Structures are given as C-alpha cells and as structure tokens.
Structure 1
Amino acid sequence: MIPRLLSASIERTMKFFPVTFVGGPRQAGKTTTLKHLFPDLPYASLENPDTLLFAETDPRRFLGSFKGSAILDEAQRVPKLFSYLQGLVDNDKALRFILSGSQNYLMMERITQSLAGRVGLQTLLPFGYEELPKKIRENMSAEEWALKGAYPPVYDRDIPPEMFYQNYLETYLERDVRQLVKIGDFVRFSQFVKLCAGRAGQILNMSDLARDADISVNTVKSWFSILETSYIVFRLSPYYKNFNKRLVKSPKLYFFDTGLLCYLLGIHKEEQLHVHYLYGNIMENMLMAELYKRHTHRGQRPSFYFLRDSNGNEIDLVVEKSGQLRLIELKAAKTFNTRMFSGMANWKKVSDLSVSDSTVVYLGEQTFNTEHGNLVPWRPALTGELIT
C-alpha cells in the first residue's frame, strides 16, 4: 500500500470531532486508507445489500452492533443513521465514527442537517504526484503522468489506464448518476461529459455547453453539478476583489484527474497527447490538479482563483493566504522564455495586488530566479521542494 498524505489530517481530526467524514471519488483509496489507519475498528459497507437492509430497517440496533466506534462506508445511502449517530456521540464523548462517501452533495446535505458541529471534514483525491514512490515517479515524464492519471488501481494493480477508465466511467454512470438524479438518456449524458472534457482549462460557458450538447441551460447546470458532486470536475473561481477594470467573472473548468480527461478525449498514447490540439490545456490541468491536491491532502481548503480581463490577459492561478497573494503561471513549455512572466508583470503594473511572490511552473528542468519571479520545474513544484 502506498501511504497517503491525508492520513495525518484524518488522525488529527479524530482527536477533536466525534465524527470524521472522508469524502472523495470512487476508487481514490478511501476504504484502503481507513482500514490501514484503524485496523481495530469494525467496518461496514452500506453498498452491501444485507448491511444496507439492516441499517435501513433497524438503525439503532445496527449502530449498537459495533459495541462502540466504527467505520461506515458510503454512509449517505442511509441518511437516517445521522440522527441516531448524533444521539450516540452526544451521550458518549469517547465514541468515534468515521464516515466515507463518494457523493459529496448527498453526504454534506445530510451531515449539515444532523451532525453540524460534531463532524470534521476531509477529502481524499487520487494520488498526488508527491505520494508516488520515488522509483516510480523519477522515470515518469509529465506526459506519462498526465496520461496514466492518479487513481490507485492503475498503480496498485497495474491495470492498463484505458481499461481502468473505461470501466470507471461505466460504473460511475450506472451507480452514482442513477442515485443522484433521474437521467433518462445516459448516452446523451456521456456525450455531455466528453464535451466538458473538451473545455478543460477553459472558461465555463453554460450557454455554449447547452447549445453543443443540445440540452437546456438548466439541464447543463444540473448535470455539471453531478460531475462536481462526484469529484469528477471542479471550478476555479475568478479573483475580482477591488478592481475597477473589466474582469471575466465566469469560472474555469478543470478535471480532478487527467487520466480520465485523456480517456474522454480519446487519447490513449503519449504520442497522441503530444500532438493533440488540447495538449496545453491538459498539461495545465495536470499541474492545477496537482497543486490542488497538495493543499487538500494536508487538510486545507485551497483558496485558489484565477485572473482574466476582457482583453484576455490572464494569471492561471492566484493563491490567497494571510492577506497576501501568490501569482502562479502554469506553462506546458519545456524551454524557458522571458515572456513567461509578461502576464504577471502586466497585472502588477495595472493593479494594486499585494503580491508575496510570483512563480512560473513549467515542464522543463532548469530553475531560475529572475527580477520578475521564480521559474520552477514541474517535478520540484509538485513534490514541494520549491513551491508550497
């Protein structure tokens, strides 16, 4: 088993909250991680039909069968459990329950109703690049990492990425989507997911997406929410505080995993990736998702934004921390060029941003400190050696 960075945050959360919720996409390693961390705790999966029936018909006796603390997997399937958990943990301060689930919206909606103030929240995403053993990652190119993606079965069980993502997508459609909303046309929904893949790293325009998918804007919003809920995609919000100039205020779209993104785009080999018209977007998505995971797997809520004005001047990533802003550009280029810093230099001139530092992360190997900021290769950037 490859150790997960989030383990320390999960253990720390359990010290302060009687209930810990670990969310994340299917196959990200939640069950494996929790069983490894707490081998002495009883475990129950509510996807097991018998367990599900027991919990639904007699929740009090179900929880009592553990004689104390327990791990409950896919707990959102029995929402009435949360009310009973509230009573248990209020009456016995020593109890600790760990809930896990792959449907963020359903879980959070039900947790906030019954366990507010009693639950600590953590999110386990697919592997971060820094979590891979050094012997695996040191010989891996940026393109190979983007193509293979980060889901544990691709590494733990050596499943070919194309085979894994094909089955993952089919399973996702059958299990999660049917539970979340009634979608009559799964073929059309599958096409919608692929259309989203073609917009990775770009401004999210719901109207354009609705036109291309031949569905209503309201349907786009509903279906896109499903993708967010299931940890398939995330939005990057624009940063537009204290500006007078005209700024883009629509979010950008990113996928949590570029292996799935490449599969949706029909990219199965590195040679295809290198010549694909979305190569730059895919590699930017890979870098963005990795920086996002670096924060999330340390128990942090990433304060990530981007900047873009109506003329197309853009900063890929703005990280806000303690009132200071870090500007980060993500470049698919492998050769340093001074123009890489031009966007950040422009924004500093025309705004009153309080910037702590400026960094360009690129796919090359050399490190430079320039008058405009720091140039950081992708490997040390993703392992935290030169950027945090």
Structure 2
Amino acid sequence: MKTYLKREITNQIVSALDDMPVVSITGMRQTGKSTFLQQQPELKNRQYVTLDDFAQLAAAKENPDKFVAVDRPLIIDEVQRCPELFVAIKRAVDRERIPGRYILSGSANFLLMKNISESLAGRAVYFNMHPFNRRELSGNSTAIPFIKRFFDEQTISGLGEVDYIPLEEIAKGGMPSICLEGFKDPTNWFKGYEHTYLDRDIRDLGRIGDVIPFRGLLHLAALRTSGILSISDLGRDARLKTSVVNNYLSMMEVSCIFYRLAPYLKNPASRLIKSPKFFMGDAGIACYLAEVEELTPETPLKGAMVETYVAQNLVSILHSTWPRANIFFWNIQGRHEVDFIIEAGNRCLAIEVKAAARWEKDDLTSLKAFIANTPHCLGGILAYNGTTAVSLGEKLWAVPLNTLLS
C-alpha cells in the first residue's frame, strides 16, 4: 500500500464543504487528487465515482441529471471527461442547495474553461492540488510557514542551521509517485507521464490530431521555465504561428502543467516589464522535458530549475495556508529583477533566489532597488542554498532555501 501523506490544502477543503454545495479540486495529472479523495478520513462516507471507468463515463453521458441525483454526497473524479455533468450539477444545486453535496476533481483547471466556470458561478469554490511541497514531505505541514511568520515579524531570531537542498532532490520535483516510491531512475516514469499527458489529456482538451508540434512547444517551454513569456519568440523557435502558440499554451495552462506569474506593477519605477513570467508546474517534469539528465552546479539550466522548484513550493504553500497572499515578480528592463514578490494587504516582501551556497554583494542590488522604489516593502530576502540565516543590513536578510520553504 502506498504511503499516504496528509495534504496541506486539506483544512481549507474540509472547511469549504460546510459552506459551498460544490467543491472543486484540480491540478496536474498524478499530483495525488484521487488518493486524497479516497483516503482522507473526512471524505470516507461519500460515494466515489471516477470517469476513468468507461461504464461510469457512458452512464454520465447518457443521462447527466440521473447520474448526479444520488442520496449521498458525491465525489466525481476526472469530471472534465463529461462536460455535460456541470450543467446537470448546476440544475441540481439550484433545486436544492446543500453544502458539501458535490466534490468535483480533475486534471483540468475548471476556472480556465469558460463554459464550466460560468455554469458553476456562485455555486462552487476552487482549489488546486499541487505537487508535494517540502513541508508535506517532511510531515511539517501543520506548523505556520516560515514565509508567513517572517512577513509578520521580520526576524530571523531563533533560526538554527539547516541542511542545504541537494540538487538531485530539486531535479526529482514533487510528484507523489517520484517522491514516495523510491525510483532509482525516474526517467521511465517521466516518459510514461509525458505519453499519457499527450495522448489523453491534450487530445481530450484540444481535440488535436497531431501532437508532435504541441510536444515540441512543451519541450521548448521547459527549456525556458522561469523566463519572461514571449509568444513571438516561442513561435519563431517552434516554427508555429502565434495563434497556434497561444492555443497550445492555453491547453498547457488548463491542464495545469504550465502557469504564469504576473509582474508586480505597484511602484513608480520606469521601464517595468509587463509581460508575465512562466513556470512548468513541477521541477522534475521540467528537468525531464528539458533533457537535463543530471542537475549539477555546472548545469546551464541549474538556476532556472532551482527557481522553478522554489516557485512550485511557494505557490503551493501560499495557496494552501495563506490564500489572501499573492505572488508576483518584478523586473526593470535591462537593469533589475526580483524573482518573487509576496503581497498581502498593503504590504509586500521581496525574495531573490540564488542556486549557490554562497552569495556576493552584487546579489543584493535588485533587492535594494525594489525596496528603494517600494515604501510599503517590509524588506528583502536573499534565498540561497546554504545552511545559515544572517542579517545583511537594514531590511535585508540571507535565508537558506530550506528555511524559506519550511
């Protein structure tokens, strides 16, 4: 039997079941949604069906209203395979609004699927189940996250030494099968993941016959993870029309394997980059698709993969424990870039990521520029892959990556 680790998003989901008739849980394929739905104790008394079962899928398509008209609270997994169910659920909820009546799950972001999100407007709340973050894997997900404590207190007092994060751990990413099953070489798992993703998810979502151009763009996106999104550059290098690139990226986003990070535009600096950055949803998948066979200090993509790993952890932690916080990046064209800006209310915190175990004085330049341009900034963290947190001057701290993501 596979190990079951409680997910950090659990408390939010269980609480939402007391208020909303429909609770939606989406995320990349194989991030643990089905395991959560079947093994989380608070969900044990619900009827569970999956549309991976062809008989269930056929029944849902034949009579959607009958399919959702059950006496017990219902979990429908892989619900995106039968879009007709969303309208049937809308009708059922409008007839009788019962909190926690339906849990819908799937490997497609329903909020980005216009017809579906409109059907459930005002009736559903949406959660994303990300790959495992470090807190979940360490069994420390009940503690207040470091990033929230630091936001409130701006102190590193009491922090002890921690281990650095091995690059091979970053290259594994956070997919449950990779993290829990002890693969000596996860290459075959990632290869199977890509085939399933292309042959099933993308064909279902986009109804495209030839997945080869899509696969080419997917690999190109992995090579550029953590970069500024340029549709024209991607189109040129993939030899695809802009309209096709936009369509393919939308499918990647709906299937949660790719996401955008918006720029922070709330300070008066000139020449701000207004295009989003983009990340692959998991650093392990990004390494596989970018053909990074081994992540070492000399690997050209080391910085991008470390930043992707930090991003997936921060996004997961914030979504799960601090949903009122937002995450951005900041970039002044040709001069300064800060990797992450965490904002909550009218305050923010700047974070610059360094993949190395040491830092240089110049590494603080962009953090200082952001703080100087942003009066409501609490300070800047230089997150590096070392072991000790230290103060670097007024409003500046160096913090180990392992601490930042704890």
- Shared fold (TM-score greater than 0.5)? yes
| 1:281 matched residue in structure 2 | 304
CA distance change for structure 1 residues 44 and 110 in 2, over 3 Å: closer, same or farther? Answer: farther
Distance across 1 between alignment mates of 2:389 and 2:258: 31
| 2:10 matched residue in structure 1 | 7
| 2:153 matched residue in structure 1 | none
Residue aligned with 2:272, SS: coil
- 1:70 touches 1:97 (CA, 8 Å); kept in 2? yes
Answer yes or no: is 1:83 the counterpart of 2:94: no
Q: Which of these residues, 250, 254, 257, is aligned with residue 225 of structure 1? A: 250
Distance across 1 between alignment mates of 2:377 and 2:91: 48
Residue aligned with 2:240, SS: coil
Answer yes or no: is 1:59 the counterpart of 2:82: no
RMSD of the alignment, in Å?
2.1
| 2:150 matched residue in structure 1 | none
- Paired residues for 1:190-339 under 5 Å: 190-243=215-268, 245-270=270-295, 273-298=296-321, 300=323, 303-339=326-362
Given residue 120 of structure 1, which amino acid in structure 2 is its aligned partner?
Answer: V
Distance across 1 between alignment mates of 2:177 and 2:267: 45
Give how far 1:234 is off.
Answer: 1.2
CA distance change for structure 1 residues 365 and 140 in 2, over 3 Å: closer, same or farther? Answer: closer
| 1:19 matched residue in structure 2 | 22
Unaligned runs of 5+ in 1: 384-388
- Paired residues for 1:179-198 under 5 Å: 179-198=204-223
- Paired residues for 1:100-249 under 5 Å: 100-105=105-110, 108-133=113-138, 141-159=165-183, 160-243=185-268, 245-249=270-274
Pick which of 10-19 and 332-341 moved more. 332-341
- 1:13 touches 1:20 (CA, 8 Å); kept in 2? yes
Given residue 280 of structure 2, which amino acid in structure 1 is its aligned partner?
Answer: F
TM superposition score normalised by structure 2: 0.87
Residue aligned with 1:276, SS: coil
CA distance change for structure 1 residues 39 and 61 in 2, over 3 Å: closer, same or farther? Answer: same
Distance across 1 between alignment mates of 2:26 and 2:210: 28
Distance across 2 between alignment mates of 1:354 and 1:101: 39
Distance across 1 between alignment mates of 2:196 and 2:243: 25
Answer yes or no: is 1:71 the counterpart of 2:75: yes
- 2:203 touches 2:209 (CA, 8 Å); kept in 1? no
Given residue 54 of structure 1, which amino acid in structure 2 is its aligned partner?
Answer: A
Instruction: Write out per-residue CA displacement over residues 270-318 of structure 1, whole angstroms, 9 at most, x where no aligned residue.
Output: 4xx3321111111111112211111122362651111111223111111
CA distance change for structure 1 residues 105 and 60 in 2, over 3 Å: closer, same or farther? Answer: closer
| 1:361 matched residue in structure 2 | 383
- 1:325 touches 1:353 (CA, 8 Å); kept in 2? no
- 2:47 touches 2:75 (CA, 8 Å); kept in 1? yes
Give how far 1:145 is off.
Answer: 1.9
Distance across 2 between alignment mates of 1:336 and 1:267: 25
Distance across 1 between alignment mates of 2:217 and 2:229: 13
Distance across 2 between alignment mates of 1:330 and 1:261: 18
Give how far 1:27 is off.
Answer: 0.3
Instruction: Write out per-residue CA displacement over residues 331-380 of structure 1, whole angstroms, 9 at most, x where no aligned residue.
Output: 1120133332221112333x244112211111011110121411110111
Give how far 1:82 is off.
Answer: 2.2
Given residue 72 of structure 1, which amino acid in structure 2 is its aligned partner?
Answer: I
CA distance change for structure 1 residues 110 and 375 in 2, over 3 Å: closer, same or farther? Answer: same
- 2:28 touches 2:281 (CA, 8 Å); kept in 1? no
Distance across 2 between alignment mates of 1:330 and 1:8: 30
Distance across 1 between alignment mates of 2:322 and 2:192: 30
Unaligned runs of 5+ in 2: 141-161
| 1:30 matched residue in structure 2 | 33
CA distance change for structure 1 residues 339 and 250 in 2, over 3 Å: closer, same or farther? Answer: same
Give how far 1:195 is off.
Answer: 0.9
- 2:164 touches 2:386 (CA, 8 Å); kept in 1? no
Pick which of 303-312 and 162-171 moved more. 303-312
Identity of aligned residues (%): 31
Residue aligned with 2:236, SS: helix
TM superposition score normalised by structure 1: 0.91
Given residue 78 of structure 1, which amino acid in structure 2 is its aligned partner?
Answer: C
Given residue 338 of structure 1, which amino acid in structure 2 is its aligned partner?
Answer: K
Give how far 1:107 is off.
Answer: 7.1
Given residue 63 of structure 1, which amino acid in structure 2 is its aligned partner?
Answer: V
Q: How many residues align?
A: 377
Distance across 1 between alignment mates of 2:182 and 2:7: 18
- 2:26 touches 2:129 (CA, 8 Å); kept in 1? yes
Give how far 1:122 is off.
Answer: 0.7
Given residue 118 of structure 1, which amino acid in structure 2 is its aligned partner?
Answer: R
Instruction: Write out per-residue CA displacement over residues 30-66 of structure 1, whole angstroms, 9 at most, x where no aligned residue.
Output: 01111122112111111211101111112232223x3
- 1:238 touches 1:308 (CA, 8 Å); kept in 2? yes
